[in-house]
Structure 1
């Protein structure tokens, strides 16, 4: 409920601060006194756009603040979605700066207008003769029917299932699209993969093959050089080995004369041993060499294959070719398994549809059972509101299509006159009729669900007499379940309020400002008497006013 409202520097309102109670609050005042300004200020709290023209003094900041008690609305989840701190007593503030920029806050946290609107629609419902088209929408009609049918749990279950269904259908469509794309490339990818698999690539292979090719391709030169080196080491006359042995023998004869000579003798001995090892290795290497033209050709072909694959795939090495092979394996494998994945998803989709169908049938049965009771209640209330011949024809019919709240189409037809033809509400009902229908529907809804604070903005225009009393009684009955405001020109409705405020203009320091005042018991009598008989209040009007107020 709206606990308090503070307005500063807005239109004709200079400074206004007021508290409200639960129940029915009526707001009265002459035409043009500024009742619409209150709605305009509330509209800003509910997320409507603002501009500098709505500011009284453009050099000062405009501030509108509302205090709401929201514990009964179960809005914790909405606060989490909007990343807001939840408080049972929530403060919404809207500021319009002199620059024309607007800011909004919920519990001192900055919010966007979109977030403010999402929260605002859960807190206040402003209803006027110009805002009755909601009642003509199919979604709203289903909301009313579901309140009576008590299908909340089933509808929520259906909506969760529908979200899953849409997600799975989206996934299968994506898989089918992928399958089409992959199928186009499948043959080419399979060819490339086979080519790389047949190559039997190994990491580091290129260096090994290049080395082997160089060795086989230059075998004669290698043999010649190795033979020459062996001869130089082991020749009997001038071989390095014999000469080194001679040096070693000479030094061994004098090594006892000093430590340095002994060291040199040892070093020469080590060189002789190492030289012998080198000679053995050279002989082994020479013996292993054998010209093999076939092996050379095979190595050359392998080398050309590796180079060609690198060029073809713009690869920097064998490792990159191996990575490419693995990628192609995944693509080919994925293409081959897509059909299986698609069939699996289609099975899951059908299973989801089967479960949705079960829930939809439960919803349909409950709605079908509740619909006649809704029609009876509506027609009874409208009869009391001066529409004795108002009748409805309504039905819910199952369809194959999955709609947002079930698998049904709701046909809700109306006729205001006896013997008149039935038609859709938006086409056959007048503004005044729609206004009363909405009042009747909100009256019914208030008994079955927790509605936000509702503000009736002069929906009683053109109503008088006994109908005005009935309308007043409906509003009072509604207020036992929710906070109700009624901006009215009818004394019958004004008198039914548990509290009454008057909107009026007054001149202060040569400036016209709008004020809002909570009326005392005596002030209410005079205000309602004036609404009955005009400015010149008669004793009869006072007596009538007291009777309306039950004083």
Structure 2
């Protein structure tokens, strides 16, 4: 609940403080005295945009500060989510500097306007004529109906299950996407691996094949050269080997004559043996070398395959290709099949849908069960508030798919006048009608729904006498469950107050300012009597005022 509102340097308010009652606080005053200014200041606390034109003194900053007790609102998660210090005693402050800069604070911690708006919506329900009120909203209408149907425990279980179902749906979508991507990746990896495995590569193969291809390509030159070399070394009439042998024999005959010739003889004799071995190898190579076009083609094709794979995989050699083949095999082994997990999750979500549908059906049945009684009560209470021809219909339609509240869509249809067509509330109700409808609806669910502090501005427009008295009684009854603040021109409503504030203008030396004072019993009698007649009030008006207060 709001405990106090402190305003300094705002509009025509120099400085004032209002302390609010736990029950029904009434604010009255002359037209133009500044009651709407109080709501404007409260609007700043609720996160509305600030305007430098609102400053009373353009050389000083404007400060609006509201104190709340929030122990019963369970707002700790909100404070944690926004990194704010929590305390049962909450202070919200807005400041507007002469330069036009606006700042907001929650428990002395700077806060953005969206955060302030979210927080204040859980604390203050401000009803002004021609505003877009909560009762317009389909979500709020459903919330009211669920409160009447006492659906909170069932709805809580449903929403917990629905949240788990939504998580499973998201997970299922992710798994299916992963499976699809994995299938594509699997096919590509398997294709590359199959290609490398089919090649059956060996690490030293490339060098061997390149040597063989070079030999096969030049076989005729090799054979001719080796055969010629063999012929010249050992087979011709003047063979190299024969000539060297003759020289060796000659050296043998003279080597004993000169000690220097002995080592030369042995070296030359070794040369003869080396030439004979070389001639035999030349002969063997010549006999072994054959021109084989088919084998050359076969080797060339094998090398072409190796070169293509190296180019495709950006590999320098066959060892690099074998490393890639090993890596692809590891990737293939690491890609698991998600089909089983997907199948299990699909069964789980199907079971959840079945459970959700059963719970949604029960929620819907309970909602339908309270509709007729709710419609009748609203119409009866509206009749007491001078709207005897008003009609309310709760239209419940079925959605195609489940959402967080079941499969019901709720719309309140309203007709204020006799014979009027039932339409959506936002399309048909005037400000005064909407205020009374809102008062009636919220009073019916006051004990079932955790509504914040309710503030009504001129909810009594267009009513008087006994109707206003009944409205005052409804407000007083509503204040038993919630803190209620009402700005009113009705003496009947004012008489129901637990606390009564009077707003008035006061002339100072240089300008007029708005002041507020709390009224004691005598002050209330005088204010209500003035509302009944004139200022100063007549004796009969004072008597009537006393009677109203006694009945209250």
Q: TM-score range by the shorter chain?
A: 0.7 to 0.9
Q: Deviations over 1:7-40 (max 9, x none)?
A: 2222222222232221111011122221112111
TM-score under structure 2 normalisation?
0.76
Match of 2:71 in 1: 71
**Hey, what does 1:392 align to over in structure 2?**
392
- Distance in 1 (CA, whole Å) between partners of 2:146 and 2:501 is 36
Counterpart Cα distance in 2 of 1:542 and 1:4: 30
d(CA) in 1 for partners of 2:326 and 2:123? 60
- Aligned twin of 2:370: 370
Deviation, 1:187, is 4.8
Residues 2 and 69 of structure 1 are in contact (CA less than 8 Å); yes or no, is this contact kept in structure 2? yes
SS of alignment partner, residue 393 of structure 1: strand
Q: Give how far 1:133 is off.
A: 4.3
Aligned-pair CA distance for 1:353: 1.0
Identify the residue that residue 329 of structure 1 maps to in structure 2: 332
Shift of 1:217: 10
* 1:354-382 deviation digits (Å, cap 9, x = unpaired): 12112112211221222222223212211
2:93 paired residue number: 93
Q: In 1, Cα distance between the equivalents of 2:103 and 2:148?
A: 40
Matched residue, 2:451: 451
Q: Structure 1 residues 53, 213: CA separation in 2 closer, same or farther (over 3 Å shift)?
A: farther
CA distance, structure 2, for counterparts of residue 98 and residue 194 of structure 1: 77
Aligned to 1:149: 149
- Once residues 541 and 96 of structure 1 are traced to their aligned partners in structure 2, the CA distance between those partners, rounded to angstroms, is 44
Instruction: Report the CA distance between 1:497 and its aligned residue.
Output: 0.8
CA distance in 1, matches of 2:83, 2:329: 44
TM-score by length of 1: 0.76
Q: In 2 relative to 1, CA 100–188 (structure 1 residues): closer, same or farther, beyond 3 Å?
A: same
Are positions 1:527 and 2:530 aligned together?
Answer: no
Cα drift, residue 339 of structure 1 = 5.4
Q: Is the 8 A contact 1:94 1:102 kept in 2?
A: yes
Shift of 1:144: 1.0
Aligned residues: 478
TM-superposition CA deviations, 1:507-544 (whole Å, max 9, x none): 33312322222122222222222211122422122222
Output the CA distance in 1 between the equivalents of 2:306 and 2:464: 98
Change (3 A) 1:77 1:315: farther
Q: Does 1:487 align with 2:490?
A: no
Residues 415 and 421, structure 1, Cα contact 8 Å, conserved in 2:
yes
**CA shift at 1:329, angstroms?**
2.2
- Check conservation: 2:45, 2:120, Cα contact below 8 A: yes
Cα distance in 2 for residues equivalent to 1:515 and 1:197:
94
Question: Contact 1:128/1:456 (CA < 8 Å) preserved in 2?
Answer: yes
8 Å CA contact retained: 1:193, 1:328: no
Distance 2:413 2:538 in 1: 47
CA distance in 2, matches of 1:315, 1:53: 75
SS of corresponding position for 2:40: helix
Q: Structure 1 residue 149: deviation in Å?
A: 0.9
Q: 1:301 to 1:53 in 2, by over 3 A?
A: farther
Residue of structure 2 equivalent to 1:442: 442
Contact 1:368-1:395 at 8 Å conserved across structures: no
**Greater Cα shift, 151-160 or 449-458:** 151-160
In the other structure, the counterpart of 2:114 is 114
Instruction: Verify the 8 A CA contact 1:445 1:451 in the aligned structure 2.
Output: no
What CA distance in whole angstroms lies between the structure 1 residues aligned with 2:192 and 2:65? 70
Which stretch shows the higher mean deviation, 181-190 or 11-20? 181-190
CA distance in structure 2 between the partners assigned to 1:475 and 1:488 by the alignment: 12
1:241-283 Cα offsets, whole Å, 9 max, x none, are xxxxxxxxxxxxxxxxxxxxxxxxxxxxxxxxxxxxxxxxxxx
What CA distance in whole angstroms lies between the structure 1 residues aligned with 2:352 and 2:333?
30
Provide the residue aligned with 1:193 in structure 2: 193
Structure-2 change in CA distance of 1:100 and 1:297 (3 Å): farther
Looking at structure 2, the residues matched to 545 and 28 of structure 1 have their Cα atoms a distance apart, in angstroms, of: 14
The 3 A distance-change label for structure 1 pair 320 and 374 is farther
Shift of 1:341: 5.1
- What's the RMSD between the two structures over aligned residues? 3.7
The question of 1:422 aligning with 2:425 is answered: no
Find the residue that maps to 1:447 and give its secondary structure. Answer: coil
| 1:209/1:303 contact within 8 Å kept | no
1 CA distance for matches of 2:199 and 2:447?
A: 79
Classify 1:178/1:546 alpha carbon distance in 2 versus 1 (closer, same or farther; 3 Å): same
Range moving further from structure 2, 125-134 or 489-498: 125-134
Cα distance change on mapping 1:374 and 1:328 into 2, 3 Å: same
Deviation at 1:406, TM superposition (A): 1.3
Tell me the CA shift for residue 342 of structure 1: 4.6
Distance 1:459 1:210, change over 3 A: same
Structure 1 window deviating more from structure 2 (458-467 vs 309-318): it is: 309-318
Q: Structure 2 vs 1, CA of residues 344 and 24 (structure 1 numbering), >3 Å: closer, same or farther?
A: same
Displacement of 1:328 after TM fit?
Answer: 5.6
Task: Tell me, yes or no, if the aligned pair for 2:92 and 2:107 is still in contact at 8 Å.
Answer: yes
- Match of 1:496, SS? coil
